Amino acid sequence: MKLVTFENAARRRRVGAATPNGSVVDLNLAYAMYLREEGESAYVRMAGARVPPEMRQLFEGGDRSLDAAKQALQFATAAGAELAGPAGETITYERSAVKLRAPIFSAAIAARMLV
């Protein structure tokens, strides 16, 4: 699994996985939808804890988070591009529709870049 940090059309940074077919899957949203299908009532909150939308937090979750991210990618790949998030958000993007960013974003570094 090739992890990426990307910026969606709303200019929000997200954790994703680049797929062999050239798309990018939002792992947090994909995991939320996986949990919903599994019957988890607090699926959005659980997805935020297990597959956070920020790379640093994902790594802090260790193997448990990485395993959940793999499950999210498998689920999204099997469901196809029509899979949408809890509020209708896009989960699978064409590579040309997103901007890849530095894997780990630091607000302190960004502040220095603005000076």
Question: Can you give the length of the chain in residues?
Answer: 115
Q: What is the pLDDT of residue 104?
A: 65
Q: What percent of the chain clears pLDDT 70, i.e. is strictly above it?
A: 89
Q: Which of 115, 113, 106 is nearest to 55 (CA)?
A: 106
Neighbouring-strand partners of residue 18: 2, 24
Is the pLDDT score of 115 beyond 80?
no
pLDDT digits (tens, 9 = 90+) for 8-54: 888 889 999 999 999 999 999 999 999 999 999 999 999 999 999 99
Neighbouring-strand partners of residue 15: 5
What average pLDDT is seen over the chain? Answer: 89
**C-beta of residue 27 within 8 angstroms of C-beta of residue 16:** yes
Q: What is the pLDDT of residue 110?
A: 44
pTM: 0.86
* Residue 62 tokens, joined: 């260790």
